[in-house]
Structure 1
Amino acid sequence: MPDGAKSIAELSVKGTIVRKLPRKLEVLEGENAAFCVEVEDDDMEVHWFKDGLKLHETHQTILKSFGKTHILVFVNVAYQDSGVVTFVTGRSKTSSRLKVKAMRHCPPICPVGVKMDVDRPNSALLTWVPAPNSQTSTRSIFVLERQEVGSQEWQKCFTSESSSTSAEVAGDSVPCEGDYRFRVCCINKYGRSGHVEFPKVVHLVPGPKIRSRLQEREVVEGEDARFFIELSATMVGTWFLNSTQLQHGGRYSIQQEQTQHTLVIHETRVKINLLFLLSLACDGWFSCIYYASFFAAAVVKFNPLSELDRNKRVHMGDTVVLYCEVSHHFAKVFWLKDGQELQPTEDLNIQSDGNMRRILRYFKSWFHVHTRVPFSPAVNILPVFPGAPVEFCPVPEEELHKSSMELDPVVLICHVSKDDAEVVWYKDGFEIEPSDNITLQAEGTMRRLIIRSAEASDAGSYTCQAGNNSVEANFTLLVLSTYTEPPVMIVEPKNDVVMKSYISEDIHLQCELSRSSGKVRWFKDEQEVENSDKIQLISEGPYRRLTILCASAEDGGEYVCETDGDTVFFQLTVSGLYSLL
């Protein structure tokens, strides 16, 4: 009518489809989605389509017909399987919107039954029990943290797989003496549970660390032998010689200066074994025992060598002469290279002239040599030969760029050209030391760096370097977070909405999301809706709104608000205004 009034009727045309598809079907990820249609006759030609593409039977798409009934099943659907399914026979068709919803995964539940047993010297046994209704299909770990009383900082001290529900914390594991409390939580790829604090506090004392260990000594008979050991803390120690406790005085000089203990044995005569014990006030003898041994030698000495004779540098291919002078002309010496005794060959000439001992060789490769007199201390003659450079075998490209999920192990591997080559690993330019989480291995020519449980902080650039030649194998590690943010759900409305409005009115379709950062897409009759002069898409906090300005009858239809994990339908009807004249 000229004044805008309308009269609207709905036309239904009966076709050959007796039982249509549902308007929409929602299933969870991993489930099967089944569609069923019934037609008039048994022998009708039918076709199934998804998003306009014809479907054929595969291991994940099942197409079956039983007389007048036709079935389509999608097996083990994923989120990307969402779309419009259409059944066509002749000129008739029916459609359904398939929505695959992400499964709701929750963070793990706090452990229960926490107990602390402190009835043991300088340690505590912590036990807990997994939550009764915790997920068993998802890999999880327990993380134990400690806090010194008076401090606000919690530090991770122990991690275990979900099968392990206890941990013993000893005094050696804490940095300083103090009272400590503990807490435990559970972590899986969906998040972290809350922390459960253990009910007691335990006093822990760190054990002494050896900063400088006892070294084996070889001395000439009649000379003094000096030993020292340095600890990380000032403690009382006792020296034993051949199982006999030593006292200061006579042949033995015993001193202690704070953390350093020193023993000097004057006029050594025979081979002896030396033992150093620490006495701890809290639990008696310290459990670690440190040995050092030395032996006296026949009175055969080497005359001092000049620095130039002790350290030689030669060019490849040059003839090298190494010599030393002994105190007695009858002294027999042995020449050794890398621990192996040398024998005369065509290229190697070993000479003895009075007190002089000499070796001549045409060197085809670089190596180190030292001499040893029987029953005498070793005297090293170390020619400073720059060893043949260590080379790295090519590393496959896929091994140089690695990615890992949090908590998963990571192994970096490279091969060097020598079995005895020493390498140093660096991360972002800083040298890596072995730890509870990092293991460095050398096996033949293989060099491995193993990260037992990767964390976000382990991501970066790793370098394996050998020698001074800066020969490097570079690795890049990316650690992906195992925490998956839950999908955005629609809080309101909870069910589909049927709306009626009138021509020329402004119409508002609104959803409230579970997260303000969530994104939505709007559809009208399966076509995505964009901002325009007539339609406004508004986002305010958790609310998403579609506004139709000055609605007309053509604006009626099915509207869909879709997130990454949920969908709601609006069935909108726009009718005319009738004038009662």
Structure 2
Amino acid sequence: SLFLQCTCCKINTIFYLFAGTIVRKLPRKLEVLEGENAVFCVEVESDDMEIHWFKDGFKLHESHQTILKSFGKTHILVFVNVAYQDSGVVTFVAGRSKTSSRLKVKGTFRKHCPPICPVGVKMDMDRPNSALLTWTPAPNSQTSTRSIFVVERQEVGSQEWQKCFTTETTTSAEIAGDSVQCEGDYRFRVCCINKYGRSGHVEFPKAVHLVPGPKIHRSLKGCEVTEGEDAHFSIELSATMVGTWFLNSAQLQHGGRYSIKQSQTKHSLVIHETCAAEDTAEVTFIANGVRDSAVLKVKHSDSDKRVDIGDAIVLYCEVSHPCAKVSWFKDGKELQVDDEGTMRRLIIRSAEASDAGSYTCQAGNNSIDFTVNVREPPVMIVEPKDDIVMESYISEEIHLQCELSRSSGKVRWFKDGQVMEESNNVQLISEGPYRRLTILNGSAEDGGEYVCETDGDSYSKGYLHPVLPELELSCEISHVDAPVRWYKDSLEVDEGPNLVLEVEGAKRRLVIPLTTVDDTGEYICDTEDDSVAFLVTITVVAEWQRNRGEQ
């Protein structure tokens, strides 16, 4: 190793010599005090190499706080006026070689106090279904330390406060009804957080009544049918509420030709035995704050009839005299039909596949032909009947399954609205009435909304939340009985169902049994005289590397 002094920064630096593209690497660790400059210097074999600087995996670019300089084979990185949160891992890459150093910014962490409560809180309720909250930072609050305001809400009658708004730059927040899950009266409070702790809470006066605003999760679709067939319309909302159906501005009621149903957030309308007069009619659904429309198209057909198995077949013709003799034929064979009057009908109350064919109504020398096609009923999803929420460990196989009403049915799988295709990691399996989607090696990117949809406009929805395995952070102290505190992102952590603090002799551990991406952050094990920091980043790439045994 060599002990050199950087001429431009007057800072003594230890360089380590290695064979390869980088001949003078970074120190293993660099410690500086808050407010000082952190300087890193390396040397490569030739002065025409492509080089890059990274911090915590992100490529660095020159700015007023980051200085990047090159002098032939020597390359220098300077962080100006570093703060406590600038701690991290600095990496220099040249060709296929790289060198890394851990930057630790030491501050007077214990000599600072938590922030002071905001003042001047006000609530403006002169607006429909919302409230405008305003506050003012404490006059003697620290301006040099980054602070965040956190607004929480509590439903009247409940003991639980929930975070609903955070801001670093503004001192106001508008809370609308769309942000709550259920209708009720709500109270609010605000506090201030910085890296040294949290201030007390200041509660806003009075309470405001908020009503959740629904959204359309699945819009109405236009429907095209042949005269006499049933027209189906459906819509799905984000919340359960009563809605109203209209046909060309005329409100519809359940009964007769109209079947109206609601299953929680799903609404459906069936118009039975459509007629030619309803062609291009507008079907509209209206609920509280929601409106959506679609067009009904009815194709006129005198001789073509298409029905589903189990539906009624009605063929009719009109004659000039009620006593006229009329004969009905199917595929050339006469049928026995008793009917009177000028309107003659042939009715099959429950169609079967064998009822398909060519029908003729003959009166004297005049006749009219009908072609009847009998289709199988639309394929529907039998199971599951309700939406499903799943959790799956990353790297495990993920199985999603639907059962159809008919084994010959076809389905399409969607993820977050995009059609899914088979790949090396995704299998689409069909076994009898079952349709399965299998993800062989689940990752965080596989989380989202999955939909299995049939041609019969039947669908099943599921939500997948990937979770990561256990996270363990450990440090060993010099005195067995010394007190230790753990912090995450500068806030002290407490034990809970998913966070365990263990003590074993001189060892102290922080264990999170089931990690998620929300557990990403900086963890600190702190004693009275020293501390150690852990930078935890939970990403898909990190999980893939962990499965390969890489660090």
With structure 2 as the length reference, what TM-score do the two structures score? 0.38
Q: Which has the higher strand share?
A: 2
With structure 1 as the length reference, what TM-score do the two structures score? 0.36
Larger gyration radius, structure 1 or structure 2: 1
Higher relative contact order by CA 8 Å / sep ≥ 6: 1 or 2?
A: 1
